[in-house]
Amino acid sequence: MMAEKGENLMGKRMLYALATMTGTAVGVGASAVGLLRHQAGSLRRAFDDDVNRHYEPVTEAIPPPEGDDDGDSVALAILGDSWLCGLEVEDPTRTPPHLIARGLARMLSTTVRVQSTARPSALSEDLPAQVGEILNSASLSRQLSQRRSDDRRFAVISIGTGDIIHPIHGTIGIPVLNQAINRLQREGRYTVFVLVCPNLGGLPGLRDPLKTSLRRTSRVLAGSQWLAALAAHAVPLTATQSLSGTTKASLLNESGRFPSTLGYAQLSSTVLAAIAERIDAPVLVDRSLDIPEFAERSSDPEANSPTEAEDEATPREESDSEVR
């Protein structure tokens, strides 16, 4: 009888312990969800505030080095969001549209007609209007080039960060990106380069659970963008690997939400290297670290970036292992 009472007492204690543990787990889960919502709300408000930050719209003709002009011209279109528009760069000649255009002018010894429709905090839903603006641009008309050949028309797109920070339903902008690429190729005769979404989980100042959530979501989006670009015969480029080789603070703006002047320069260099490779320019180009499967094998311990190479999206299945 005593043994029976002892077993009943032990059973009650175990049930009480399990109930307490379950209640604690539910409380922790609810707390984590609340914290995630708070963190996401703060980031979203900061992202929305970026719309009002200073940036330089660009519609210009950039000449080549003196004495090198071949008398023809190249068209360069820049579309997308804060990762290409040159947000808060004091010297307008240091923004990606100018840097890429000057590099092309020197590379091809010709004038480069450049126009940027990239806007701070742009979403995928803004991309069709940007494409329309580019296709209707008088300054980028094919009639202004004597050769009118497709190998002298380039478009660069960066989009998707806003879709993660402001979640939308469905495939987070992939059909919109695919349509944009197709229109630029078919109607504008552009060779299109896509700077896929960076690993937002690596941005400085983020804490879990938001850090892990953004890391995984941005990897999925970047992988989808990579495959969409390849399927549409565009050239995908990795934003993550572009921003490597120095400290986080120097590559990103103080806010951590978009590149610094140096970060914009590195992204521009990645685009120029890809263009040089595409057109067989007489420039030595090594893009091995710009391709995810090679970048992820890099063992360089100094290659820590605001978005680690291991976190860059690839077409293969995502790993849940924590990054460095």
Q: Rounded distance, CA 221 to CA 227, Å? A: 10
For the chain, give the mean pLDDT: 78
Q: Cβ-count burial of 31 within 10 angstroms (0-12 exposed, 13-18 middle, 19+ buried)? A: exposed
Contact 237, 266 (CB under 8 A): no
pLDDT band at 267 (very low <50, low <70, confident <90, very high): very high
Tokens standing for residue 196: 């896929």
66 is a domain residue: yes
pLDDT at residue 296 tops 60: no
| Residue 219 CB neighbour total at 10 angstroms | 24
> Is residue 285 a part of any domain in this protein?
yes
- In the prediction, which pLDDT does 39 show? 81
Mean pLDDT computed over 28-53: 76
Q: Supply the pLDDT for residue 55.
A: 86
Q: Does the residue 43 lie in any domain?
A: no
Identify the three-state secondary structure at position 237: strand
**Residue 19: which pLDDT band, with cuts at 50, 70 and 90?**
very low
Share of the chain above pLDDT 70, in %: 71
323 occurs within a structural domain: no
Where does the pLDDT of residue 283 fall: very low under 50, low under 70, confident under 90, or very high at 90 and above? low
Residue 138 has a pLDDT of 96
Query: Please, which residues have CB within 8 angstroms of residue 167's CB and are 6 or more apart in sequence?
Result: none
138: in domain:
yes
**Residue 292, pLDDT above cutoff 90:** no
Q: What is the mean pLDDT of residues 57-85?
A: 90
The residue ranking higher by pLDDT, 274 or 243, is: 274
According to the model, what pLDDT value does residue 112 have?
95
Per residue in 167-223, pLDDT (tens digit) is: 765 456 899 999 999 999 999 999 999 999 988 887 777 888 899 999 999 999 999
Residue 95 lies in a domain: yes
User: pTM value?
Assistant: 0.77
**C-alpha to C-alpha distance for 21 and 19, rounded to whole angstroms:** 5
CATH of the domain at 241: 3.40.50.1110
pLDDT score for 1? 52
Give the mean model confidence (pLDDT) for residues 289-307: 44
Task: Evaluate if residue 66 carries a pLDDT over 90.
Answer: no
> What secondary structure, in 3-state letters, does 279-318 show?
CCCCCCCCCHHHCHHHHCCCCCCCCCCCCCHHHCCCCCCC
Has residue 42 been placed in a domain?
A: no
Domains of the chain: total: 1
Give domain status of residue 259, yes or no. yes
Q: Name which residue leads in pLDDT, 89 or 245.
A: 89
Can you give the residue range of the structural domain that contains 103? 58-311
**Digit-coded pLDDT (tens) for 142-172:** 888 877 666 789 999 999 999 998 876 545 6
Roughly what angle, to the nearest 10 degrees, separates helices 210-231 and 174-186? Answer: 30
